[in-house]
C-alpha cells in the first residue's frame, strides 16, 4: 500500500499526498526524536528538466514539511543535480552506480560544515543515489550524515 501511495505521489501528479506521508511518519515518537537529533534536512535534488516535467521534487516537499514540524533546518541550497541522467528506476544496480556518478554538485558548503545532516530520498533501491549524494555532502566536512528514505524497493 505504501509503495502504491509513493508511486502515485511521485509519478501520477499527486503532490498533495506528501502531507499524508509526513503525518504517517511523524506518528512514531521514537522516530520523531531521532529526527530531532539532526541539525538540517536536505532532500535529494532532481534535475531542472525533471522538475519542470513533474512540477515538484517529491523528496523536497516531504523534507521541508518534516523539518518544519520537527523544528530543524531545511536546506535546498547546497546539493544540486547538475546532470540529466537516465531515470535510475530503468537501470540495474551496476548501471545505476555508473549513471549517477558526477550528477550532483555541492555549493555553499560552509553552511554544512560541522552539521549533522539528514539526507532524505523517497525510495531506496540499490543505494546508488544516496551514496553519491553522501559522497558529495561529505566534502563539506559535516559532523554526521544520516540517510532517511520513505520506502525500500
pLDDT single digits (tens) 60-113: 999 999 999 999 999 999 999 998 776 766 676 777 777 788 889 999 999 999
What pLDDT is stored for residue 22 in this prediction? Answer: 93
Closest CA to 115 of 72, 70, 83: 72
Q: How far is CA 42 from CA 60, 73, 93, 117, 146, in A?
A: 8, 9, 24, 7, 10
User: Cα-flanking dihedrals φ and ψ of residue 17, to 5°?
Assistant: -70, -10
Total structural domains within the chain: 1
CATH classification of the domain holding 63? 3.40.50
Instruction: Determine the 3-state secondary structure of 62 from DSSP.
Output: helix
Task: Give the domain range for residue 39.
Answer: 2-152
pLDDT single digits (tens) 13-69: 888 889 989 998 899 899 999 999 999 999 999 998 889 988 999 999 999 999 999
* Mean pLDDT of all residues in 113-129: 93
Amino acid at each position: 500500500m505504501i509503495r502504491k501511495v509513493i508511486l502515485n505521489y511521485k509519478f501520477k501528479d499527486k503532490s498533495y499526498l506528501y502531507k499524508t506521508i509526513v503525518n504517517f511518519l511523524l506518528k512514531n515518537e521514537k522516530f520523531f526524536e531521532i529526527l530531532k537529533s539532526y541539525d538540517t534536512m536536505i532532500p535529494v535534488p532532481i534535475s531542472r528538466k525533471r522538475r519542470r516535467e513533474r512540477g515538484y521534487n517529491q523528496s523536497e516537499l516531504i523534507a521541508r514539511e518534516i523539518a518544519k514540524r520537527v523544528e530543524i533546518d531545511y536546506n535546498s541550497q547546497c546539493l544540486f543535480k547538475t546532470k540529466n541522467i537516465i531515470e535510475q528506476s530503468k537501470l540495474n544496480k551496476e548501471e545505476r552506480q555508473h549513471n549517477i556518478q558526477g550528477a550532483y554538485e555541492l555549493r555553499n558548503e560552509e553552511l554544512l560544515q560541522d552539521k549533522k545532516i539528514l539526507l532524505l530520498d523517497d525510495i531506496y533501491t540499490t543505494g546508488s543515489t544516496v551514496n553519491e549524494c553522501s559522497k558529495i555532502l561529505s566534502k563539506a566536512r559535516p559532523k554526521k550524515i544520516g540517510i532517511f528514505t520513505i520506502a525500500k524497493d
